Structure 1
Amino acid sequence: MRYPLILLGGFILAATMARVIIPRILIISLRKRLFDVPDLRKVHQRPISRLGGVSFFPAILFTIAFLIGTCSITHWTSVETITKNWTQMLLMCAGLTLLFTIGIADDLIGVRYRQKLLVQVISAAMFPLAGLYINDFYGLFGIHTLTSFVGIPFTIILVVFITNAINLIDGIDGLASGLSMVALSMFGILAIIDEKWLSALLAFTTIGVLLPFFYYNVFGNADRGRKIFMGDTGSLTLGFILSFLTIQYTMNTYETGISYEGAILIAFSVLLVPCLDVIRVVIGRVRRGRNPFMPDKTHIHHKFLAMGFTPRKAMIFILCISFLFCVSNIILVSYMDNTILFICDVVIWIAMNLYIDKVISRHQILEN
């Protein structure tokens, strides 16, 4: 019973800290004129602070350190049980510190993409340094065990990809934070089942930080200076934490009851929407002869807006799509082959996008 109380305490403490910090960030942004200015590619119409993500990492780090330290001093529970895989968490925080720093710099003055990519690669390398990398495909595409020579570089590439996928999906209010909360909830529950209490604490603490931000981001009034974006600082933080939880759950520790054949598909099921969307967008840009790294308005949320959805309705629909992918994969993974189930996911995603494209075409014809 003590461990669930620690998780609840982490959630409440992180939510309280974020609730206190975010209004102060809004005041500083107003005084220093630190705003995200609207342009043709962006949805918002008024300058809005983009420093909401500054509250994420400090609140998460303080909450986890404070709770573990308090439990250690008071001997309230077994700290050794909570701090299992502590080395992985420490090196994850080291990488997150680098991303937090480059994210703030990008939100304030702008950073070149190559510099951001270099920092992301260095941060991703912290996982293999802690002995954490994808070492098993669980039969996906007929692949099982991966050697470290293949698994380590693949893990670094995958972490960079997931981190950027969360960054790129952050295009309308509540979408990146909403998708992250859905994913974090699943990883938190899976960590509890596997008795990985430190990972569960990380997941639920991050959810606690996101809830106040979600309120200000979705329901805040821009005219009164009460609305905020997470910026690159926030999206990089969320993407990296989700990468950590994904790789940690996917890595086969060969302990009975921990790893099973559906691990890799379940771990990535909640990230299918942002990851598949990035792949689709990049392929589309290359086909049109454009730079795959140059921003445009072809992401899934842009498509929903083009169909006539309001930003809030588009966010809700995309969250529902992600939730359905997650639930269906968790249910079906015990009955279907990993490869077949993954192919079904991709086919459904492609069919859905083709249908959306037809709806957009009809909508444009009617408008003209």
Structure 2
Amino acid sequence: MREYLVVFLVAAAVTYLLTVFAREIALRTNAVAAVRDRDVHAEPIPYLGGLALLGGLVAAYVVARELPFLSRSGELVFRDAGVVLVAGALICAVGVVDDIFELDALTKLGGQVLASGLLIYFGVRFYFFPTSGEGAQFSPEPQQLAILTVLVIVATVNAVNFVDGLDGLAAGVVGIGAASFFLFCYQLTVINDATRATTAALLSAALAGACAGFLVHNSHPARIFMGDSGSMLIGLVLSASTLTLTGQFEASELSTEQGTGPGFLPVILPVLLPIAILIVPFVDLLLAVVRRTRAGRSPFAPDKQHLHHRLLEIGHSHRRAVLLMWLWAALIGFGTVLASLFQGPLMWTSLSVMVLVTMVLTFVVPNAPAPAFLAEEDG
């Protein structure tokens, strides 16, 4: 655990420092978010935060290779993590070009599929699905698994891109998701008395750290946006980190807390977690597609009717809307992990309390005065 904490801190520190340089590069290349009708910021903000995020991830990877415990891990751990970072660099480069020159949606989709193909080529993909019976698994044809892998990655990348509409929103949601997945990976190895060194844990710890370091500059009022270079990068790393788990564990090696053999949720969670963590932006994405196509517009046509815009409309301040979205992400992400690993009245009671508190904060008190430290932004 201590070495993963080092990975988290290195990613956070390096991302924090590199964000200053990324902002300067953005200003010099005119990669700046102009003020548009659908935006909530009132002045142009630099893009290219993805460069800092990528630098933090790479720094964490390099340091992890030198740590006493992680450096002795299996060869697949750093090999797969390196493949994910290369694919991340590729999709980040596409995003950088978009941040500067504004690529069309089809070109960006091509870059996402290309990065997904790179992962598949080097073996970072889905390998099996659980079925009934202890240790039983179902492995479809490689072509079917490849298609599913691409769909999950592309959907996650675009969901993160959709949720990147308020200062600190995307970085916070993905950071919380990465932290919850790290908890899942680490606790799963503890329960099964397996090696603590996994690609999934390494990548999720680094991703959580990079998002934390970036949030210092990206929280409201933001001094820099991550842009497509950042949103596509962290979306790919989040989804790819879950994919690596099915390549390094067999269904028979995963068991529940009670040790009664392979549990369905622990095995299927790598498939579900990117969707579970990003269920809010996924729903937002689906609603946006339906809304726009019903109006006779392109599904990619921007508007100002996303969920975070609606939170602002019902009375939440900018910062409180972001905190609520983070709270929903934590509820779904950590709730899914807890439900997959633990059972019993305490777990269900905890989840029920979390749901109740989140619902009350979202719908019952939207017009209540914000605390002084949250209201200062609107003064």
TM-score strictly above 0.5: yes
Query: In the alignment, what sits opposite 1:169?
Result: 163
Q: In 1, are the aligned partners of 2:168 and 2:322 still within 8 Å (CA)? A: yes
- In the TM superposition, 1:73-84 aligns within 5 A as 76-77=68-69, 79-81=71-73, 83-84=75-76
Query: In the alignment, what sits opposite 2:202?
Result: 201
Q: Identity across aligned pairs (percent)? A: 25
Deviates more, 1:108-117 or 1:257-266: 257-266
Q: How far, CA to CA, are the matches of 1:327 and 1:77 in structure 2?
A: 27
Query: In the alignment, what sits opposite 1:181?
Result: 175
Query: In the alignment, what sits opposite 1:247?
Result: 243
Query: In the alignment, what sits opposite 1:7?
Result: 4
Q: How far, CA to CA, are the matches of 2:18 and 2:112 in structure 1?
A: 26
Q: How far, CA to CA, are the matches of 1:276 and 1:149 in structure 2?
A: 28
Q: In 1, are the aligned partners of 2:13 and 2:56 still within 8 Å (CA)? A: no
Q: How far, CA to CA, are the matches of 1:106 and 1:327 in structure 2?
A: 33
Deviation at 1:171, TM superposition (A): 0.3
Q: In 2, are the aligned partners of 1:83 and 1:198 still within 8 Å (CA)? A: no
Q: How far, CA to CA, are the matches of 2:120 and 2:250 in structure 1?
A: 14
Query: In the alignment, what sits opposite 2:226?
Result: 230
Q: Residues 282 and 321 of structure 1: is their aligned pair in 2 closer, same or farther, counting only changes over 3 Å?
A: same
Deviation at 1:333, TM superposition (A): 4.9
Structure 2 residue 264 is the aligned partner of structure 1 residue 261: yes
Structure 2 residue 325 is the aligned partner of structure 1 residue 322: no
Deviation at 1:245, TM superposition (A): 1.7
| Structure 2, unpaired ranges of 5+ | 190-195, 256-261, 344-354, 368-379
Q: How far, CA to CA, are the matches of 1:331 and 1:26 in structure 2?
A: 38
Quick one: which of 25, 33, 49 aligns to 1:52? 49
Quick one: which of 290, 302, 310 aligns to 1:303? 310
Deviation at 1:198, TM superposition (A): 3.4
Q: How far, CA to CA, are the matches of 2:338 and 2:79 in structure 1?
A: 33
Aligned partner of residue 87 in structure 1, secondary structure: helix
Matched letter for residue 228 of structure 1: I
Q: In 1, are the aligned partners of 2:18 and 2:52 still within 8 Å (CA)? A: yes
Matched letter for residue 113 of structure 2: V
Q: How far, CA to CA, are the matches of 2:280 and 2:70 in structure 1?
A: 38
Question: What TM-score, normalized by structure 2, do the two folds share?
Answer: 0.77
Query: In the alignment, what sits opposite 1:112?
Result: 104
Deviation at 1:78, TM superposition (A): 6.1
Q: Residues 32 and 151 of structure 1: is their aligned pair in 2 closer, same or farther, counting only changes over 3 Å?
A: closer
Quick one: which of 146, 150, 169 aligns to 2:144? 150
Aligned partner of residue 277 in structure 1, secondary structure: helix
Instruction: For residues 245-272 of structure 1, give each alpha carbon's deviation from its aligned partner in whole angstroms, at most 9, with x where no partner exists.
Output: 2223456633422663113355232121
Q: How far, CA to CA, are the matches of 1:329 and 1:12 in structure 2?
A: 26
Query: In the alignment, what sits opposite 1:345?
Result: none
Q: How far, CA to CA, are the matches of 2:36 and 2:241 in structure 1?
A: 35
Q: How far, CA to CA, are the matches of 2:292 and 2:131 in structure 1?
A: 32
Quick one: which of 82, 91, 97 aligns to 2:83? 91
Q: How far, CA to CA, are the matches of 1:48 and 1:307 in structure 2?
A: 26
Deviates more, 1:206-215 or 1:188-197: 188-197
Matched letter for residue 242 of structure 1: L
Deviation at 1:39, TM superposition (A): 0.9
Instruction: For residues 142-190 of structure 1, give each alpha carbon's deviation from its aligned partner in whole angstroms, at most 9, with x where no partner exists.
Output: x955332322112112211111110111000111011011111011122
Q: How far, CA to CA, are the matches of 1:31 and 1:322 in structure 2?
A: 35
Deviation at 1:301, TM superposition (A): 0.7
Q: In 2, are the aligned partners of 1:167 and 1:235 still within 8 Å (CA)? A: yes
Instruction: For residues 37-84 of structure 1, give each alpha carbon's deviation from its aligned partner in whole angstroms, at most 9, with x where no partner exists.
Output: 10101110001111222101122112212330x34xxxx346341643
Q: In 1, are the aligned partners of 2:32 and 2:99 still within 8 Å (CA)? A: no
Q: How far, CA to CA, are the matches of 1:335 and 1:188 in structure 2?
A: 16
Aligned partner of residue 140 in structure 2, secondary structure: coil
Q: How far, CA to CA, are the matches of 2:253 and 2:199 in structure 1?
A: 20
